[in-house]
Amino acid sequence: MRWINFWLSWRDKMTVFMKREVARRVFAKELMSSTYAMRDEGEKSPVYVLTPLGLKCNRVFIIGALTEKTDVGEDSSIYRIRIADQTGSFIGYIGRYQPEAYDAIAEINELSLVAVTAKVRLFEGETRTFVSIRPETISMAEPESRDYWVVETARSTIKRIKEMERGEGENVKLAREIYGTDLNEYRRMVREALLRLKEEYVEETEEEEVELEDVEEEGELDLMLVEEEEIDLTKLLED
């Protein structure tokens, strides 16, 4: 009997997991500029946020710097967080009803790099509509993972810009109608994000060269094995 209960519990968890929406990669500037919510047909259909570039998303995957972690709950039950990427900041809240993320954030210091999977919510304020994220998971991230996230998010954004140029898809047409999207604004956003990443690579390379010179002077260079994974940003910048 016990194994049947275990199997039923495992099956229910897998069903929930398989039904989860794909976590999209999107820069902060695009997501936080969103003001339009939409829902598919059906009473239980999730609510999506439509971004100015026509991305319809319910969940997002983010890697950035945790620049704020503030306890805003009366009984220390809610953290307000701010996560910065190359283009702006995501604002979010973590409560005890998200136990995995809540336990994790308590152990993470501000200015740490974090990887976050989160639900996206749209709120109607008195003067404006704003987007918030509700993290499901949050963990420390490595700089290399952040760099890869920037490149992949840039690729996804460029793809959406090109789709909007061609006017393809219902979501693209709806986004242009609602937002009157200025594509040049988002082209500049992607370019600046990639250039900032490129500048950081140059600075890191210069620092490594200095360190290598020090090692070489000490006659230890032949003992080192340096492996680098170059990320070619040239093609993305041309796009």
**pLDDT greater than 90 at residue 155:** yes
Q: Is 15 or 50 the better-scoring residue by pLDDT?
A: 50
Range 146-160 average pLDDT: 95
Do 52 and 175 touch, CB atoms closer than 8 A? yes
Average pLDDT, the chain: 84
What is the strand order of the sheet 56-57 is part of? 36-39, 47-50, 56-57
**What local confidence, expressed as pLDDT, does residue 73 receive?**
74
Please write the tens of the pLDDT for every residue from 20-78.
789 999 999 999 999 999 988 777 788 999 999 999 999 999 999 999 999 887 777 89
**pLDDT greater than 90 at residue 3:** no
Q: What is the DSSP letter of 30?
A: H
**What local confidence, expressed as pLDDT, does residue 227 receive?**
41
Measured CA to CA, the distance from residue 210 to residue 202 in angstroms comes to 12
**pLDDT greater than 80 at residue 82:** yes
Please write the tens of the pLDDT for every residue from 122-144.
988 888 888 999 999 999 999 99
Residue 23 has φ and ψ, to the nearest 5°, of -80, 115
Measured CA to CA, the distance from residue 96 to residue 54 in angstroms comes to 33
Do 22 and 35 touch, CB atoms closer than 8 A? no
